[in-house]
Amino acid sequence: MPATVLVVGGAGFIGSHTCVELLQHGYEVVVVDDLSNSSPHSLERVAKIADTAVPVLYVMDIRDRSALSEVFRAHPIEAVIHFAAKKAVGESVGMPVEYYDNNVGGTTALVSAMREHGVRRLVFSSSCSVYGNAVKVPLTERDPVAPTNPYASSKWLCEQILTDVCRRVPGMNVLNLRYFNPVGAHPSGLLGEDPRGVPVNLMPYMSRVAHGRLARLRVFGDDYPTVDGTGVRDYVHVMDVAEGHRVALQHLDDEAGMRTFNLGTGVGSSVLQLIAAFEDATGRRIPYDVTDRRPGDVAALVADPTAVNRAWNWSTSRDLAAMCRDAWHFQSRNLAGYAD
């Protein structure tokens, strides 16, 4: 019997790419997603790429505890990957209660259901944003955390909750992955990032500008203490992030309790550097204006990926050019996203 993995938020950007990776490696996949920022069509694309049946999808909010219990009852779930969260930094500043309610409340409901049904293995999606205004980059997992916005705080709270649960519940193993900035798409052009409405993140926004669906990119601030004054991030290909989750599942039982790893490349790129890389990779021009800083943003976040490299003998392998090329390939083949 193949192992069954519950992928919470599996119709979303990172979740859907991870489903492909798991199906291609023989896992059985069950998806829970509220579709608030994702499309069920992504799972049809997942099945097409992996050449399997479309994964079972439960459209529901994980805070609906009885519905969630039903899912655990219906499938022999051996491990859970929890992607589901609201994730826009700027938006979180304006709606903190919704962010805590959704991200923290969703995580406690999920962990309760896992405990109730004896499931003890979890891979959790955290974020580099927990580090806040980093004093220096690259960041190791031992560097202090200092979230600067409700999104980041919600992820940090979840980390603390999971740490406490691991101390309390015998046999509970959690791999807490702090992603840096996942971008790009499946190289087939079938699967990619398709946020609802106007994108808030840089790469999907830029792809739509390249395509002419949005007029100009706004560069949020050029007065940061960085190479060219614009924000520096560690962009990591979503295929590497997906692969990282598959490898994480294999390492869940290496050690008991809660373990935290950065998931990034170790390479930082400024907004202007990403624009230049995108223009090089796609041959498209990106018109932009420099505007004020975005509330809640920080100057630079770059991973030191040494810990994960050593623990799993694994590292990311795709560069910025591939991230831009694949993001653009998806965008140009799917003019209206999955609605096409």
Site for ligand UFG in 191-210 (CB under 6 A): 200-202, 205
C-beta of 310: minimal distance to ligand UFG in Å? 23
86 sits near ligand UFG (criterion: CB under 6 A): no
C-beta of 290: minimal distance to ligand UFG in Å? 9
313 class by beta-carbon count within 10 Å (0-12 exposed, 13-18 middle, 19+ buried) = exposed
219 sits near ligand UFG (criterion: CB under 6 A): yes
**Of 58, 99, 131, 151, which one is the catalytic site residue?**
151
Number of residues near ligand UFG (by CB under 6 A): 21
Site for ligand UFG in 297-336 (CB under 6 A): 297
Tell me which stretch binds ligand UFG (CB under 6 A): 51-59, 64-72, 140-148, 179-187: 179-187
Whether the CB-CB separation of 16 and 55 falls below 8 Å is answered with no
Dist. CA 158–CA 175, nearest whole Å: 12
Dist. CA 260–CA 175, nearest whole Å: 6
C-alpha distances in angstroms, 9 versus 37, 81, 83, 86, 256? 9, 9, 5, 10, 25
Contact pick of 52, 294, 307, 322 for ligand UFG (by CB under 6 A):
294
179 sits near ligand UFG (criterion: CB under 6 A): yes
Tell me which stretch binds ligand UFG (CB under 6 A): 57-65, 94-102, 214-222, 277-285: 214-222
Contact pick of 218, 252, 307, 322 for ligand UFG (by CB under 6 A):
218
271 sits near ligand UFG (criterion: CB under 6 A): yes
Whether the CB-CB separation of 271 and 236 falls below 8 Å is answered with no
- Decide if 151 is catalytic: yes
Cα-Cα-Cα-Cα dihedral of 145, 150, 156, 162, to 10°?
Answer: 170
Dist. CA 47–CA 25, nearest whole Å: 13
Contact pick of 220, 261, 314, 328 for ligand UFG (by CB under 6 A):
220
